[in-house]
Amino acid sequence: MKTRTIAEPYKIKMVESLKTTTREQRLAAIKEAGYNTFLLKSDDVYIDLLTDSGTTAMSDVQWSKMMIGDESYAGARSFYTLEAAMHEIYGFKHLIPTHQGRAAEHLTSLIRIQPGQYVPMNMYFTTTRAHVERVGGIFFDCIIDEAKDTKVIHPFKGNVDMAKLQKLVDEVGPEQIAYLNIAPCVNMAGGQPVSMANMREVRAFADKYGIAVIYDATRAVENAYFIQQREAGYQDKTIKEIFRELMSLADGCTVSSKKDNLVNIGGFLATNDDGFARRAKELVVVFEGMPTYGGLAGRDLEALAQGMREMVEDAYIASRVRQVEYLGQKLIDAGVPIMLPIGGHAVFLDATNFLPHIPQDNFPAQTLAAALYVDSGVRAMERGMVSAGRDPKTGENNRPKLELVRLTIPRRVYTNLHMDVVAESCIELYENRHKIKGLTMTYEPDSLRFFQARFEELEPAMA
């Protein structure tokens, strides 16, 4: 029998109109935005693949829960609803809500890092690394080398290289490691997962040296899906079971709820460590609000609790990752260079191989994201040298091996016809790639420069 199509496990109840623009309007808009897609007005964007962060469509049940949010300042019922959902799904003892993920990273870095200590991560994430470095911590990249080659196919390209970790501990001593910060599904590596077997090794290593494991569990559900699909022994387990097992290997986690958790705002810190939780509750009052709301409204906590339950439904997560694969496969079939294998939340165009004639100093990924917008109104994001920033010691540009453009798919928002439009635009740009020239940076903010940096075209090639 022919394989049958599997459709989305939901139907659409409310729609939001999309605005189309002319090429001339888009040229004016990107120029005004300094060729930085972060600085475009969303009204000038047709299909917005800037990020999967906070861009989710909530379910009717989530919206209905918002009506029963308890807005009490202290001890709100909605906190206890969220705590029960976190206990059931994640299984950690303590919950400290925050207004978004980076706030949980802020608290974690302040509490757990002494100046000069190392924080090994399976590749960096922009905000996480910024918080580590602000308190004098040193980022140490312990991801496997395969992660940095867009063409290598590996089922778990987010894995930790145990030899790199061992070497660091041998050189600096275990007391110089603040904690291991592991991301199940590595955003900057292209949405690539870690395996359960690798996380067990990480756990054993941490136990041997008395080091804590704190996940960045922002996209860990997508990781659980890849484990179910790719790792021996997990095919018959539910996503909920796999997710819980994955979480059981860490001492705590920070989460941006704007991704997996299916809400538009929120985040949290969760941990089994009583001392860490106590310190976090002391500090959250300074930066976010009472430990029972952490910068969120009662209704946000309700929507988040419901989102946690929906995110581990097998049919939902399968449909979500399959949509990303649908777009990625179209590009692969057309010969467009992308990061392989296709990741969990996004398709990453490989700008180095897409635009080999543009040197890294002229920002190929930044250029490609701008050109894509001008071509079709599709907004993507640079994940290359601009995002990587500068070395805090030398002031030199960090030169990441990966120069990528992220086509990030919001959850439950676009249809596969939208994906077709995106694919057609990428393919046509690839066919005319020689016409695309590079950019120079004209304004550079001190930290997290990719959000607000401005550029000019080397020559007016996009006109």
Residue carrying structure tokens 């004639």 = 357
Complex with ligand F0G: residue 53 or 78, whichever CB lies closer: 53
Nearest to 352, CA basis, from 341, 360, 343: 360
What phi-psi label fits residue 447: left (phi over 0), alpha (psi between -120 and 50 degrees) or beta? beta
Task: Please tell me which residue in 118, 276, 450, 455 is annotated as part of the active site.
Answer: 450
Report which residue type is found at 143.
Answer: I
In DSSP notation, 205-252 reads HHHHHT--EEEE-TTHHHHHHHHHHHSTT-TTS-HHHHHHHHHTTSSE
Q: Tell me the closest approach of the beta carbon of residue 276 to ligand F0G, in angstroms.
A: 18
Task: Please tell me which residue in 73, 93, 167, 207 is annotated as part of the active site.
Answer: 73
Question: Tokens representing 339?
Answer: 């990061």
Complex with ligand F0G: residue 108 or 256, whichever CB lies closer: 256
Q: Is position 126 annotated as part of the catalytic site?
A: yes
Complex with ligand F0G: residue 90 or 430, whichever CB lies closer: 90
Complex with ligand F0G: residue 117 or 256, whichever CB lies closer: 256
Task: Please tell me which residue in 216, 260, 300, 350 is annotated as part of the active site.
Answer: 216
Complex with ligand F0G: residue 159 or 218, whichever CB lies closer: 218
Task: Please tell me which residue in 126, 292, 352, 367 is annotated as part of the active site.
Answer: 126
Q: Tell me the closest approach of the beta carbon of residue 127 to ligand F0G, in angstroms.
A: 5
8 A C-beta contact, residue 172 and residue 118: yes
Q: Tell me the closest approach of the beta carbon of residue 52 to ligand F0G, in angstroms.
A: 7
Task: Please tell me which residue in 118, 125, 226, 234 is annotated as part of the active site.
Answer: 125
Q: Is position 430 annotated as part of the catalytic site?
A: no
Complex with ligand F0G: residue 98 or 198, whichever CB lies closer: 98
Complex with ligand F0G: residue 367 or 408, whichever CB lies closer: 408
Q: Is position 92 annotated as part of the catalytic site?
A: no
In DSSP notation, 25-66 reads HHHHHHHHTTT-GGGS-GGG-SEE-S-SSS-PPPPHHHHHHH
Q: Is position 259 annotated as part of the catalytic site?
A: yes
Q: Is position 73 annotated as part of the catalytic site?
A: yes
Q: Tell me the closest approach of the beta carbon of residue 370 to ligand F0G, in angstroms.
A: 18
Q: Is position 134 annotated as part of the catalytic site?
A: no
Q: What strand order describes the sheet that includes 94-98?
A: 94-98, 267-271, 252-256, 213-216, 180-182, 118-121, 138-141
Residue-level length of the chain: 463
Residue of this chain nearest to ligand F0G (CB atom): 101
Angstrom distance (rounded) from CA 118 to CA 175: 9
Nearest to 372, CA basis, from 436, 450, 443: 436
Q: Tell me the closest approach of the beta carbon of residue 196 to ligand F0G, in angstroms.
A: 19
C-alpha distances in Å from residue 144, one per residue of 156, 167, 216, 336: 9, 14, 17, 25
Nearest to 216, CA basis, from 351, 281, 126: 126
Complex with ligand F0G: residue 298 or 343, whichever CB lies closer: 343
Angstrom distance (rounded) from CA 50 to CA 363: 17
Q: Is the sign of the CA dihedral 156, 157, 158, 164 positive or negative?
A: positive
Q: Tell me the closest approach of the beta carbon of residue 320 to ligand F0G, in angstroms.
A: 15
Q: What radius of gyration, in Å, describes the C-alpha atoms of the chain? A: 22
Binding interface with ligand F0G (CB under 6 A)? 51, 53, 100-102, 125, 127-128, 183, 187, 216, 218, 256, 258, 267
Complex with ligand F0G: residue 101 or 343, whichever CB lies closer: 101
Task: Please tell me which residue in 259, 379, 406, 411 is annotated as part of the active site.
Answer: 259
Angstrom distance (rounded) from CA 353 to CA 347: 15
* Residue partners of 365: CB distance under 8 A and separation at least 6: 349, 351, 382, 383, 384, 385, 386, 403, 404, 405
Q: Tell me the closest approach of the beta carbon of residue 394 to ligand F0G, in angstroms.
A: 26
Angstrom distance (rounded) from CA 256 to CA 266: 7
Nearest to 409, CA basis, from 344, 350, 313: 344
Q: Tell me the closest approach of the beta carbon of residue 434 to ligand F0G, in angstroms.
A: 30
Q: Tell me the closest approach of the beta carbon of residue 100 to ligand F0G, in angstroms.
A: 3
Active site positions, annotated? 73, 125-126, 216, 259, 383, 450
